[in-house]
Amino acid sequence: MKKKNREINIFSISALDLFASAMGAFLLIAVMALPYYLKIDKDIIEQKNKLEKELKQTIQKLSKCEQVIAQQQQQNLKVQKELSKTFCAINMNWESSKIQDVDMYVVDPSGRSYAFDNRRYSGSDAMFTVDSKMVKNGAEVWITSELQPGEYKIYYLYYSGSGPLDVNGRVFTKSFTRDLPTKRMRKPDRSNGVLIAVIKVDSNGNATLEIST
């Protein structure tokens, strides 16, 4: 008698039901969790946008700080430049019982001669601020806000009067204040001035005074 053929089913109806139920449960959970995952993505995007905004603001603040620092550096350079300047004032004076006239000349490193007839030059703030003429007690004052590197020569000229005359002077600079030696002028001589002293200025603005012998 021939045996009947039997079909071999790997999955029974019960197993299929189990798989279907599990798949349904997974889909249900996924659908329920989807808004949560969407919320996480939204929070991440918002946080990213917030960080980008803060980064942009920080960059703007740093840019402003850099501008302020650059301005401060420029201001510091200006201050340093002003502090490096060597001002100078030269005073010459005399006392006499007679009416006298003594002139002071100052020759700068470029060869410009400052005197009663050339009290100042264009492009320079150096000038004579006091120029006495034909008085018993006189004075002359030459000033500049900045001595340039080189030599400044100081001359006295006995322009008019009579008899011997003692002339005094003083030099004021950022580096020093010194009296000039008293110079006895014997008689008027309009053609020749007498070299009294030389102010020497180096490239750093430091000044020294050399008295002429």
- Report the pLDDT value the prediction gives residue 138, as an integer from 0 to 100: 92
Rounded to whole angstroms, how far apart are CA atoms 125 and 146? Answer: 8
Rounded to whole angstroms, how far apart are CA atoms 103 and 160? Answer: 9
Residue 54 has pLDDT above 70, yes or no: yes
Q: What is the mean pLDDT of residues 138-157?
A: 95
32 — pLDDT class (breaks 50, 70, 90): low
- What percentage of the chain exceeds 70 in pLDDT? 77
76 — pLDDT class (breaks 50, 70, 90): confident
- Report the pLDDT value the prediction gives residue 61, as an integer from 0 to 100: 87
- Report the pLDDT value the prediction gives residue 74, as an integer from 0 to 100: 81
Residue 26 has pLDDT above 90, yes or no: no
Closest CA to 193 of 161, 168, 159: 159
Q: Are strands 165-173 and 127-131 parallel, antiparallel or unpaired?
A: unpaired
User: Could you give the C-alpha distances from 148 to 16, 105, 168, 171, 204, in angstroms and in order?
Assistant: 105, 17, 25, 16, 10
Rounded to whole angstroms, how far apart are CA atoms 54 and 148? Answer: 53
In this predicted model, what pLDDT tens digit does every residue of 85-118 receive, in sequence order? 789 999 999 998 889 999 999 999 999 999 988 8
Q: What is the mean pLDDT of residues 24-50?
A: 67
pTM: 0.63
